[in-house]
Structure 1
Amino acid sequence: MRMAEKLAGLPPYIFAQLDEHVYKLREAGKTDIVDFGKADPDHPTPIEVVRRLQETAADEENHHYPAFRGSLFFRKAVAAWYKERFGVDVNPEKEVLALIGSKEGLFHISLAYIGQGDVGLVPDPSFPAYNDGVFFAGGEASRMPLTRENRFLPDLDAIPDEIRKRAKLLFLNYPNNPTGVLAPDDFIEKVIRFARENEVVVCYDHAYCEITFDGVRSRSFLEYSGAKDVGVEFFTFSKAFNMAGWRLGAAVGNEEVINSLLVVQSHINSGVFAPIQFAGTTALAEVWHSEFGTEMRKEYQRRRDYAIDKFEQIGWEVHKPAGTVYLWVPVAGGMTSLEFANRLLDEYSVVVAPGTAFGETGEGFVRLSLTTAYQNVVKGIDRVCEAIEKWR
């Protein structure tokens, strides 16, 4: 059977290739593998959230199709949390949309705004869903390099006039996957001016807003003056509450953009199962007020600090992330990022994601996800450092 030509134009999904590689090694008897490849939290979902799901799933009133926009009780909970967490006022009836995970919204937003000849401005490196959404919508992704020299921020002034005229969406993500940096205030203010002047919708991926270090707080895009006029923010429960498999998120912000995304989603899915929305409400209203977030940040920082200290001991310069669960590590030995990742797996039983999985600018780096137990982090980082010393 012939698949659509469009699929042939997609780059290979490197994470699927990594999974296959790991599977074959385990089938061959290699079991002591440290997996830094996936960003799947290793700790369980808070028990309060699980119990709320169990209770509400047992109620037959919740077994019907949910509202496409999301249940009002959930949208009110999101709005209340945004007010308490960020000091931002949003209308739960018009400016909040429930998502089956933020990835879905970040992909589908392109279907609402991108057509043939249109451009989506996509950071490079970045989460693949931004680029893929633009591609499936029939548009062109214009990649904006994120380099150490530019503090891992896109250079908006370098975007050619011809691209600006065709641009419809601008994707941003801070705390940033994969580099771990936060965006300074002056940059976000510049983004808002850029979006207004060029009539571009800002799609702000705030997936890691609750995972920051050294007492730093991540600000919502919507906290900035004029932000709601030009864009929306995407929040996910996956990392904030260890709810990756639950598939729950929200888009918050500009009413017109929310409505446009709702139109697309109403043709593609039938909404989020109501008990999952109840569970998410419990996460926002109860778990967020507990010590859960503090303990989570403390544990991720412990893992980050061990890794950074170890790299410093061998004289290998690795950017110290201010947030997220990632390390953005330069490769050694003049290898490509894919060669380095494959050798680490074959020779040291460590899984890392090659930087090119996130875009061409990722060449020369690998991403390490610290979503594995501390003892595995120690074991895996020690192995990575041993490999770097050998290959450098």
Structure 2
Amino acid sequence: MFKSTKIEYLPPNVFRRLEERKNKARQDGKYVIDCGTANPSGAPPAEVVRTLQKAVEVTENSHYAPSHGTREFREAIANWYRVRFDVEIDSESEVHTLLGSKEGLFNISLAYLGHRDVALIPDPSFPTYHDGAYMAGADIYRLPLRKENGYLPDLDSIPQFILKRSRILFLNYPHNPTGAMAPPEFIKEAIAFAKEHKMIICYDNAFSELTFDGKIAPSFLEYAGAKDVGIELFTFSKAFNMSGWRLAFAVGNRHLIGSLIECHAEAHTGMFPAIQLAGITALKDVWPTGFLAEQRKDYQRKRDYALHKFAQINWPVDKPAGAIYLWVPIPKRMTCEEFAEMLTKKYGLLVAPGIGFGDTGEGFIRMSMTCKYDDFERAVDYLCEAIQTLR
């Protein structure tokens, strides 16, 4: 069957491959511990669920919603940014509701990139940054993130002939997959860099509420000049255990938000109003409670168990400051794809091969901490056993 050349040459999607591997293992009768797809095992907040249940029964909520979100939801987002980050957001022109942050991360490239434009993409990073730019017809310039640089891109290393065509820089801290956080000096540098080279910044802030050891993640928009050059995206998927609800939003520069709304309107209608009402409950009623603190406590407990076990076998794994992943180096006797496949076949353990997040991911796996604690302990023990066998 015919495929477009863009689809034909699109790199294989790491998450689709993980689903296929998981389904195959289950068909073979294995109990699968999913540390690959980052699907939170915890329940959404009860208040959020009750709001949805009640809202579904209201006939008006079955009607089409505004493309950029209901007024009530946009106002709740603006109020949350004021309370959480001390950032003023105009709910009319600087907010856009998304069907999951993945939609916005993809569409921003469709809105701002064309043939021969360049997208500056960290490596490793969430694959959608690349995929959106690729589908927009742009060229991609990878910015390697390495431990010795604190997993920050070296903006000064970008050649001038690349900078002349660069139109967008993607950033994401706390970082998927390494868990690194960016110091304020780097964010300020990035904003000045974007202004100097007349490009925009798309800041993926998916994990602002999931940080460890008392650290607090800022909003990109807290920094002077950020709203002049960029937008920020937030998702309810991980913080509120609502990954299947597909609820997220973008905030920031009104011109960028307007372009996202235009892209959205061409392919989608508005978000189901009942889910937007549930989102209001999450931001207004759940966020001030201890729900997020318990989330952080659970993930930090898993992180600390894993780091302790890795230390016992003298295996170097960086301590993530935030997000929900461990970026684990693997023995050199296998590629990361081979190692991940072996873990599934031998132990029923699903992890994401690092190469799925960029070329610098070869030699690593991404281990999600989203499964239940008992399963996570077993997963870490299996992984340590495999490492010791192959080291």
User: Is contact 1:53-1:276 (8 Å) kept?
Assistant: yes
User: How many pairs were matched up?
Assistant: 391
Query: Could you say which residue in structure 1 is the equivalent of 2:311?
Result: 312
Deviations 1:88-113 (A, max 9, x none): 01111111111111110010000110
> Helix, strand or coil for the counterpart of 2:297?
helix
Alignment of 1:223-262 (within 5 A): 223-262=222-261
The worse-fitting range, judged by mean Cα deviation, of 192-201 and 53-62 is 53-62
User: Is contact 1:96-1:253 (8 Å) kept?
Assistant: yes
User: Is contact 2:332-2:363 (8 Å) kept?
Assistant: no
Alignment of 1:189-338 (within 5 A): 189-338=188-337
Q: C-alpha separation between the residues in 1 aligned to 2:239 and 2:54?
A: 22
Indicate how the Cα distance of structure 1 residues 333 and 139 shifts in structure 2: closer, same or farther if over 3 A, else same: closer
Alignment of 1:12-51 (within 5 A): 12-31=12-31, 33-51=32-50
CA positional deviation for 1:219: 0.4
Runs of 5+ consecutive residues of structure 2 not aligned to the other structure: none
- For 2:11, give the aligned amino acid: P
- For 2:370, give the aligned amino acid: T
The worse-fitting range, judged by mean Cα deviation, of 168-177 and 53-62 is 53-62
Q: C-alpha separation between the residues in 2 aligned to 1:14 and 1:92?
A: 35
CA positional deviation for 1:15: 2.3
Deviations 1:214-254 (A, max 9, x none): 00000000001111111000011111111111111110000
Query: Could you say which residue in structure 2 is the equivalent of 1:4?
Result: 4
The worse-fitting range, judged by mean Cα deviation, of 338-347 and 192-201 is 338-347
Deviations 1:356-379 (A, max 9, x none): 010101011000000011111111
TM-score, structure 1 as length reference:
0.98
> Helix, strand or coil for the counterpart of 1:357?
helix
User: Is contact 1:124-1:361 (8 Å) kept?
Assistant: yes
Q: C-alpha separation between the residues in 1 aligned to 2:105 and 2:19?
A: 24
Q: C-alpha separation between the residues in 1 aligned to 2:98 and 2:225?
A: 24
Deviations 1:42-94 (A, max 9, x none): 10111111111111121111111100111111000000000000010111111
CA positional deviation for 1:278: 0.5
Q: C-alpha separation between the residues in 2 aligned to 1:247 and 1:342?
A: 29
Query: Could you say which residue in structure 2 is the equivalent of 1:354?
Result: 353
Runs of 5+ consecutive residues of structure 1 not aligned to the other structure: none
Q: C-alpha separation between the residues in 1 aligned to 2:346 and 2:13?
A: 23
Q: C-alpha separation between the residues in 1 aligned to 2:46 and 2:135?
A: 38
TM-score, structure 2 as length reference:
0.99
User: Is contact 1:348-1:387 (8 Å) kept?
Assistant: no
- For 1:78, give the aligned amino acid: I
Query: Could you say which residue in structure 1 is the equivalent of 2:63?
Result: 64
**Please, what is the CA RMSD of the aligned residues?**
0.9
Deviations 1:324-361 (A, max 9, x none): 11000001143211111111112232111000010101
> Helix, strand or coil for the counterpart of 1:286?
helix
Q: C-alpha separation between the residues in 1 aligned to 2:210 and 2:51?
A: 24
Q: C-alpha separation between the residues in 2 aligned to 1:253 and 1:210?
A: 19
Q: C-alpha separation between the residues in 2 aligned to 1:259 and 1:30?
A: 48
Q: C-alpha separation between the residues in 1 aligned to 2:121 and 2:287?
A: 31
The worse-fitting range, judged by mean Cα deviation, of 61-70 and 215-224 is 61-70
User: Is contact 2:18-2:37 (8 Å) kept?
Assistant: no
